């Protein structure tokens, strides 16, 4: 359990929106629970880029859906970006590295199914 809250990884956001069966019971409990939950603006950016490249279809009402939920948007701050330079190179995905930096600096637990995140000094579930 996280006192400060949870940062939801991009694929978990997409799986939740699609009612995808890959969401674990633990992840589902967090998404439905009352603890503070955040989606990084970096995740919205990643979804937009992949949608524009034809790699996934972005729900047309994505922002409205997020704003109507109990999930808060986490802005990308300069300290988040600069902190990515201090991270070990276990994972090359710039969006994931930014989420790791945000979780570390904001004291959030990452909600992810990505095994690469376990290589970093960050709480994950």
Dihedral sign from CA coordinates of 66, 28, 95, 48: negative
Q: Is residue 124 one of the residues assigned to a domain?
A: no
Write the pLDDT tens digit of every residue in 39-95.
999 999 999 999 899 988 777 788 888 888 889 999 999 999 999 999 998 878 999
What pLDDT does 88 receive?
Answer: 93
What pLDDT does 2 receive?
Answer: 57
Question: Are 111 and 33 contacting, i.e. CB atoms less than 8 angstroms apart?
Answer: no
Q: Is residue 53 one of the residues assigned to a domain?
A: yes
DSSP of 65-123, one letter per residue?
HHHHSSEEEEPPPHHHHHHGGGS-TT---HHHHHHHHHHHHHTPEEE---GGGGGSSS-
Domain CATH number, residue 115: 3.40.50.1010
Q: How far apart are CA 31 and CA 77, in angstroms?
A: 24
Q: How far apart are CA 19 and CA 43, in angstroms?
A: 18
Q: Is residue 112 one of the residues assigned to a domain?
A: yes
Q: Is residue 23 one of the residues assigned to a domain?
A: yes
State how many domains the chain has. 1
Q: Is residue 101 one of the residues assigned to a domain?
A: yes
3 pLDDT band (50/70/90 cuts)? low
* Beta-carbon count within 10 A of 17 CB: 15
Q: Is residue 125 one of the residues assigned to a domain?
A: no
34 pLDDT band (50/70/90 cuts)? very high
* Beta-carbon count within 10 A of 30 CB: 21
Range of the domain at 107: 6-119
């Amino acid at each position: 359990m996280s006192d400060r809250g949870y940062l939801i990884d991009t694929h978990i956001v997409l799986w939740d929106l699609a009612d995808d069966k890959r969401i674990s019971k633990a992840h589902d409990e967090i998404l439905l629970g009352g603890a503070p939950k955040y989606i990084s603006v970096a995740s919205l950016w990643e979804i937009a880029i992949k949608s524009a490249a034809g790699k996934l279809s972005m729900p047309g009402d994505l922002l409205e859906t997020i704003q109507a939920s109990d999930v808060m948007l986490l802005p990308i701050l300069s300290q988040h970006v600069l902190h990515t330079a201090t991270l070990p190179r276990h994972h090359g995905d710039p969006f994931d590295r930014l989420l790791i930096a945000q979780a570390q600096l904001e004291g959030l637990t990452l909600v992810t199914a990505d095994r690469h995140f376990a290589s970093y000094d960050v709480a994950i579930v």
